[in-house]
Structure formats: C-alpha cells, structure tokens
Amino acid sequence: MSEIKSKVLALKYRPQTFDDLIGHQVMCDTIKNSIRTSNIANAFLLTGIRGIGKTSTARIISKSINCKNGFENICKENYCENCEAISNSNSLDTIEYDAASQSGVDQIREILDFCRFPPSTSKYKIIILDECHMLSKSASNALLKTLEEPEKFLKFILCTTELRKVPITIVSRCQRFDLGRVKFQILFDYLKNITKKEGGNISDEALKLIVKISEGSCRDGLSLLDRALLTQKLEKKELDLNLAQKIFGHFNKSHLIELLNLVLQGKEKEAILAYRKISDQGIFPSIFLNDFCEIIYYLKNFKIFGKNEINFTLNDDESKELEKIANSLDNETLIMFWQFTLKSIEELNMVTNQDLLVEMFLIRLIYLKQIPKLDDLLSDLENTKDIKSTVNIENSNFTSSIEDKTESNNTPKSLDQIKNVAQEKKEELSKLQPSLNNSFLNIQNFEELLSVCTKKRELKIKFDLEKNVRLIKFEKGLIEIESSNDFDKDFIKNLSHKLYKWTNYRWIITLSQSKGRLTKNQVETNKNKEILERVKKTEDYRKILENFPDAQLINIEEQD
C-alpha cells in the first residue's frame, strides 16, 4: 500500500475496469457486448487526444478477455495472475510496444515471430502498439497481412493520437473507436470525487478552472489536481479560485472584462495600463489572447442564446457585465474582434517581446471599433447623389463628395482605406453604365460575337471564344457553354462585362456539364483536313508527286 500512496494521481487512479472509465460509455458498451458474444475483432484502433484513456482501455480489454475468472466475474480488487501481470506490464502474453521508439521493420518482425506461438497462460496473445502512427512505412506494410488474418489466439490493439498519419490500409483492418474529450461536467464530478478521497480542500471554482485548463484530458486534469493538492496541504487552508489562478498562470475574468470595456470606449492609455497589470501577474501573452477569444465566444452566446451556455467559468456579476456588453455590440464588430485575435495568436512567435504585440493588438482593436461600416458609407453616398444622375458626373466631383462626407464625420485618418473602397465601388458602377450617346449592338449569334470582338479589338476574349469555348446554346441574353478548365480565370467576367457594354443588356453566361459543339478552331482544323484529303485524291496532285516524289501537301489557300 505504501507504493500505491507514493504514485501520482494519474497512475494511482488509472482505470482498471470498464466501470472505471469515464466519458466513453458507447465504446465501453460496444466492446463489452462483443466480448459477451465472443465476437471480438481481430484488431482494435483507439484514437483521440492525449490523456483520455487509450492505453488504459487497451489494458482493460486485455484483462477482460484474459481474466481467469471470466468476463462477468472480472477481477476488481484481488487480481488473478493474468490481471495482475497485465496491470504491472509484465505479462508474457500481453506485450506493449512503444512504436515511437521501436518504429522500424525489424521490431515488427520480432513481434510477428512472437505471434507464431500460442499463449502460455492466457486465452489470447495480445499486442498493444502505442503511438502506432510512428511506425515506418515498411513496418506498417509488414504488419498488414497479420492484422487482416491473425491466428485465432492473437489480438491487436493499436493506439494513436494522430489518426491522419496512420496508413488507411491499417485503419481499414481495425475496429476503430474515437475517444472524444471528456465532457466538462463529467470531468468536474470525477475530480471532485478524487479530491474527497485524497482529503483535499479545493473550492468548486478552483476545480472548474482545472477542468477548463485540462481541455477534456483526464490525465491532464489529474496532474493539475496533484499540483493543487500539494499547494493546499502546504497552505493548510481551502484552495480558492484566486490561489488556483496564481498556481496555473491564469487571471480573473473580471480583469479581462474591464479591459474589453476600455477597448470599446476607445481609451488607449487605460487599456494598455490594464493589460500591463495583468501581465505583471505573470500571465503569458498566449494565455491572455486565448482567454480573450473565450470572452468573445461568451459574447456570441449572449447575443444568440441570450445566456452563456457554459456556466462554470463566470460568476453572476461577470455574466451580467458581459450580457450588457453583448447588447451594445453588433455582429460585425464581434466577428472582426474574433478574426484579429486569431491573427494575433498566429503572429505571437514572430516577435521576441510578445507583450509588445499584445499592446499593439489592443490599439488595433480600439481603432477598428471606430471605423464605420462600408454599407453605411455607401448608403449615405446614395442618399446624397442619385446613382442614375451620377452617370454624367465627373470623377473628380464624385471623389470630393466622398472626402467632404468622411471629413464631416470626424473619422480617423485610417478611414482612407474605406474611402478608397467606396470610390472603387462607384467607379465600377460608372464603368458599367454605358454612355448615353453610344449606339448599342444587336448580337444574334456566335459568329456575330466573334466579329464584334474583332472590331472592338478584344483579341484576348476572341482567342478564348475560338480556342476554348464549346458552345451549347446561344440566344439573346443567354450563352450556355461546356464547362472547361482551359478558360482564362477572368474570361466569364470580362465577356459578361463587354456584352453589357456593347448591347446595354445583361447577359447570363452559364457553364454546363453537357457536351458542347466543337470549338471554332477545331471546326476549321477539321475543314482543312477534309480539303487536304480531297485534293490528295485529284489527278493534279498525282502528277506533282510523279515529278517531285519528296513533295508534301501542307496547306491550301483559296483564291478569288
């Protein structure tokens, strides 16, 4: 018993039976039913993040099918010889291989040699391959045949955290189980129960912080709880949320909410000073930005559901404050904040002093909040100048009207980018509006379209029309062509724009999976081939070959 007490919690409370596993009830029921009906798979593949019980599940499966008392009476306290050996990793018939350190084909050959002989004391020989995605390609291929058709006494259990790295040929030969993250409430109840067993005194708020940091990993949760219990026993008082935040490098959400309020109010100096206070507590910039993302997520919950779906990490005062902020924010600002935060997380490793990046990130958010929406700018422009009447307005007058409008709103200089976008929008509209003095064309068929392209010197469009377009249908306002990857990337857009300019009519150009006609170039090539073949059969051509045996007919030109 003294040895057990000296173990860390992750080993001391390692699951020994299916009843001890938490968060994977469906998998447990499926495997138990297969054992009861003696319909056990040749190989199991257990996949999921670190610390959720993959290797523990592999050992439990081994004990369940090899226990001397049978599956229904499996050992729980007084272990039989087989269960004891499997728990201590010294069984002769259940072998655990670490594929991360033994990934070569030679190690797999040793395993295959081991598999030839029947078990010594157990019903089945079991091979547990941990981190199987680390096996080399040749090692994986050497294992395929045995995995598919093993001996009756042989079972494989493969564990991996990187399923996408496991060859599909291996995955298809296994009964696969995806072990998801342990849910918040289940892990919270589990850690609270262990705290009581250990005689610890930890508040529920501190336990919730441990659960949050563990990110659904049971082993991570137990390791963090181990640290918390050690500190609590030294302090000889209840470990509350404030002390837990100091231990694990997290900070109070109220400080972050206060900082967010300063950002939304545009107070640069106060926001930066507030962040420096948080940083002085030893909080890493990466943790700060991740928690900032979490706050934005909570705001989304308040806006969509009217409440915070995850109630464990916020107290009542924080929830009320966030609800108030959510009601004052629009979705566009929320999305922009989210994108800028993720971008800043990506940029963290680009700078040596990461605190500088976070401070600049806060300033960017402050000015981002002040930028008016583009839709509002455009709607204001449309209210002051009717789009139809602006067809004949000079571009310089239009530009000055935008500048006057933006200056009257006292917007920051950073809005130049928004003004440029508005100008470009208007310029596109003015380009699309044909001049009132133009005489519009009436294009009736494909040949006329080619002729117009020649007259208008649109040689690039004509090139694509002749070489790549397989026409299906051509009507006024509608062109249907066979879908192809040979077009220039802007061909459809350019053709549509030119057709509207030439005809003052909106054309619909559609790509179809139907088979189209031959292209213009293909038709002409076929026609030339027919003429060549017809001429080669004439008497004149035969006489030419008699006098000039090496002559070849390459091309024929028709003359008036």
Q: Could you say which of 120, 151, 178 is where a domain stops?
A: 178
Residue 314 in domain? yes
Cβ count within 10 A of residue 285 = 22
Report residue 327 as tokens. 């009601």
> Confidence class of residue 175 from pLDDT cuts 50, 70 and 90?
very high
Specify the 3-state DSSP secondary structure of 178: strand
Mean pLDDT over all residues of the chain?
A: 80
Q: How many CB atoms lie within 10 A of CB 404?
A: 10
Q: Using one digit for the tens of pLDDT, what is the confidence trace for 294-341?
A: 888 888 888 887 766 554 566 667 778 888 888 888 888 888 888 889
User: Is the pLDDT score of 398 beyond 70?
Assistant: no
Share of the chain above pLDDT 70, in %: 84
The answer to whether the beta carbons of residues 128 and 62 sit under 8 Å apart is yes
- CA atoms of 443 and 452, how far apart (whole Å): 8
**Which CATH number does the domain housing residue 29 bear?**
3.40.50.300
Only one residue has tokens 């002051």, namely: 384
Summarize pLDDT for 194-230 with one digit per residue, the tens: 999 988 889 888 898 898 888 889 999 999 999 899 8
In a domain, 417, yes or no: yes
Query: For residue range 259-303, what is the model confidence (pLDDT) as tens digits?
Result: 888 888 888 899 999 899 888 877 888 888 988 888 888 888 888
| 151 and 11 share one domain | yes
Alpha-carbon distances of 102 from 165, 167, 296, rounded to whole Å: 16, 17, 45
pTM, entire model: 0.58
Judgement on whether residues 327 and 196 belong to the same structural domain of the protein: no
Q: Which two tokens stand for residue 154?
A: 């042989």
Q: Is the residue at 141 inside a domain?
A: yes
In the prediction, which pLDDT does 422 show? 46
557 assigned to some structural domain:
no
> Is 530 part of a structural domain of the chain?
no
Q: Which domain CATH number covers 509?
A: 3.30.300
| Positive/negative CA dihedral, 171, 175, 181, 187 | negative
Q: Which of 286, 95, 308 is nearest to 184 (CA)?
A: 308
| Inside any domain, residue 524 | no
Question: Do 158 and 119 sit in the same domain of this protein?
Answer: yes
What's the rounded Cα separation, in Å, for the pair 195 and 201?
7
Distance CA(182)–CA(23), nearest Å, equals 5
Enter the tokens of residue 86.
């499997």
Q: Does one domain contain both 14 and 91?
A: yes
In a domain, 153, yes or no: yes
Q: Which residues contact 138 (CB under 8 A, 6 or more apart)?
A: 104, 105
Same domain, 329 and 378: no
What is the rounded CA–CA span in Å between residue 196 and residue 201?
8
Digit-coded pLDDT (tens) for 30-76: 999 999 888 899 899 999 999 999 999 999 999 999 888 888 888 88
Which tokens is 533 given? 């073949």
Pick from 521, 525, 526, 511: nearest CA to 472: 511
AA identity, residue 57? T
Q: Which of 199-203, 392-396, 460-464, 508-512 has the lowest mean pLDDT?
A: 392-396
Does residue 157 lie within any of the structural domains? yes
366 and 381 co-located in one domain: no
Cα separation, 167 vs 172, in Å, equals 9
The enclosing domain of 225 has a CATH number of 1.10.8.60
- Examine the domain organization and report whether 72 and 164 are in the same domain: yes
Q: Which string of DSSP letters, residue by residue, matches 440-486?
A: -----SHHHHHHHHHHTT-HHHHHHHHHT--EEEEETTEEEEE--S-
User: Same domain, yes or no, for 31 and 46?
Assistant: yes
What's the pLDDT band for 416 if we cut at 50, 70, 90? very low
- Count H helices, E strands: the chain? 26, 8
Question: Does the pLDDT at position 160 exceed 90?
Answer: yes
Last residue of a domain, one of 432, 455, 474: 432
Query: Could you list the residue range(s) of the whole structural domain that residue 16 is in?
Result: 2-178
End-of-domain residue from the set 479, 494, 517? 517
CA end-to-end span of the chain? 112
Q: Encoding tokens for residue 249?
A: 């490098």
Task: Express each pLDDT in 334-366 by its tens digit.
Answer: 888 888 899 999 888 888 889 999 999 999 888
